Structures are given as C-alpha cells and as structure tokens.
Amino acid sequence: MPAGRRSVSRTIRAYVALTKPRIIETLLVTTVPTMFLAAEGLPPAWLVLATLVGGTLAAGSANTLNCYLDRDIDQVMHRTRQRPLATGEVSPREALVFGVVLGIVSVLWLGLLVNWLSAGLALAANLFYVFVYTMLLKRRTPQNIVWGGAAGCMQVLIGWAAVTSSLDWAPFVLFGVIFLWTPPHYWPLSMRFEDDYASAGVPMLPVVASDLAVARQVVAYSWAMVLCSLLLVPVAPTGWFYAVAAVVLGAVFLTEAHRLLGRAKRGVSGAALKPMRLFHYSITYVTLLFVSVAIDPFLRF
C-alpha cells in the first residue's frame, strides 16, 4: 500500500479507536431489543438504523472525550498504552474537537431523525459520563464505576423513547439491570489489572479493598441484578421465554460470582483467582438476556 494511503488508513483507525468500538457494541446490543420490546414486535427498520447511528455517535463522543481527559492515565497503564492519545497518533486538540463534533452531530441526528426526547437522553448520558464519571468520580472514589455506569444504562431509555416518544417503567427496569450489572462486570476486570490502576492512581475498588471484600460486593450486586431482571416479567409484561432465559442466565451468573467468592475466601490470589471467568461470562449474560428481550414479543401470540 502506498505511504499516503497507509497513513490515511492508520489515521482513520486511530480515530475509530478513540471511540472504543467494543464498548459501543455492548451498548448497542441493549438498544435494539429494547426497541423490539417497546414496539411489541418489529419497529420500523429505518427507525432502528437511525437510533443505532445516533447512539453510536453519542457513545463515540463520550468515549473520545474520556480518552482526552484520561490521556495521562492511559500512558501509565499497560492495558491502555496503545490508545491513540497515549501513542501520539492523535493530538489532544484533535481528539477534543473530534469528541465535541461527534456529540453535537449525535444530538442533531437523533433530534431531527428520531425525536428530541431520545436526543436529550443521549446528551444527558454524554454529559454524565464526561463530567460526573470521568472528571468527578473516577479518580476520587472506589465506587466510581457504580455511578459512572449509569451513563451506559441510558441506551435502553434512548431505544424505548425512540419507539414510543415517551418513557415507562419497563425501560427503567432494564436500566436497573444494566446499572446493577456494571459492577460485577467491571470489578473482575479491575481485579485482573489491579496493578495498572494502582500505578495510575485510580482508586478502583480492587485497589483499595481486599479480594474478599470485592468478591462479596460482586455477589451482592449479582443477586440484585438477577432479581431486578425478573421484575421485567410483571412490569413489561414479558412472557415465558424471557422468564426462563432470565432465570437460567441469572443462575449461571450467580454460580460464577459465588465461585469467585469461594476462591477469595480460600485466600487464592492473582491469576489463580480467575476473575476474568466472570468478566467474560458477564458479556455473554447481558447479550443473551437482551436477545431474549427481543425474541419474547414474538412468542406471546
């Protein structure tokens, strides 16, 4: 490939990396099923596409601005040293402009093509993630990810609002599921990279608390998450398919969480603690749970 084309391609990849695509994938996995639930079937394809594009732009903006504000931390942590701002592929000013432009475009896109309620929710999520989580909480409290995770929960509200132009109890139950899912999803990852966070001065819970204390909180949040997921059955209401999926998937999640606690109680530490087992399953859990949300309306007739 000619040097010029290679440079353009590398620059594009750097800007895409700023948006943290893998995180966006998880967010969008929750949006479409929520739209199916709100529509009690298939929502218009153009509406789904418009909502996904707007949600991607909004999440990309928040993640880019997070990279801009955390560029000093990213240079220290092994897990994030290859991010574009840490390597210098993108300058701080370029990242700031890119993040702000994405945010503006996302609000206008959702407002003009979907509705202004979904646009307002996307803006609120962006502002909360940047100002409350990144700037206020992340470097100050070990509960940072608990409250910061609320920004990621907004996608279900955006998806519901896109279909109904309003909000109801059902999307707030799904909001609660993701809110309660975030700690047992992220704390095992933080346990794996505890030294990274400690060297960067970020007080993630595993940095300031023992493995046993973290595992106990993981179990507590896991139970609360599973119970919250079952609330959707009477509130939505959903049918037998979602109910069975929520019970089975939740049982596996609780089993993994209690296994982590059991290893911590035995004094196991380091790689032998196997926190990434729960981290990886947590992604499978939220994906399959929301797939069941999408399928359920078609099995109730």
pLDDT, residue 238, reads 93
Please state, as a whole number, how many other Cβ atoms lie within 10 Å of the Cβ of residue 186.
20
Render pLDDT for 92-150 as a digit per residue (tens, 0 to 9): 999 999 999 999 999 999 999 999 999 999 999 999 999 999 999 998 999 888 888 88
The band of 3, judged by pLDDT with boundaries at 50, 70 and 90, is very low
**58 compared with 5, residue with greater pLDDT:** 58
Residues 6+ apart with CB under 8 A from 4: none
**26 compared with 217, residue with greater pLDDT:** 217
Render pLDDT for 44-93 as a digit per residue (tens, 0 to 9): 999 999 999 999 999 999 999 999 999 999 888 888 888 899 888 999 99
- Residue 277: pLDDT above 80? yes
d(CA 250, CA 180): 13
d(CA 150, CA 180): 9
d(CA 236, CA 6): 50
d(CA 142, CA 275): 18
For 227, counting Cβ atoms within 10 Å of its Cβ (0-12 exposed, 13-18 middle, 19+ buried), the class is middle
How many residues are given for the chain?
301
For the chain, the first-to-last Cα distance in angstroms comes to: 55
For 177, counting Cβ atoms within 10 Å of its Cβ (0-12 exposed, 13-18 middle, 19+ buried), the class is buried
Over residues 262-273, mean pLDDT:
89
d(CA 98, CA 20): 14
d(CA 127, CA 151): 9
Render pLDDT for 183-238 as a digit per residue (tens, 0 to 9): 999 999 999 988 888 888 889 999 999 999 999 999 999 999 999 999 999 999 89
Structural contact between residues 110 and 104, judged by C-beta atoms closer than 8 angstroms: no
Name all domains of the chain by residue range, CATH numbers in brackets: 12-155 (1.10.357.140), 168-301 (1.20.120.1780)
Q: Which segments of 128-268 does DSSP mark as H helices, in order?
A: 144-148, 150-164, 169-192, 194-200, 205-208, 211-235, 240-265
Distances in whole angstroms, Cα of residue 273 to Cα of each of 211, 214, 262, 298: 9, 12, 9, 41
**Two structure tokens written together for 104:** 């503006």
Q: How many CA atoms lie within 13 A of 17 on its CB side?
A: 17
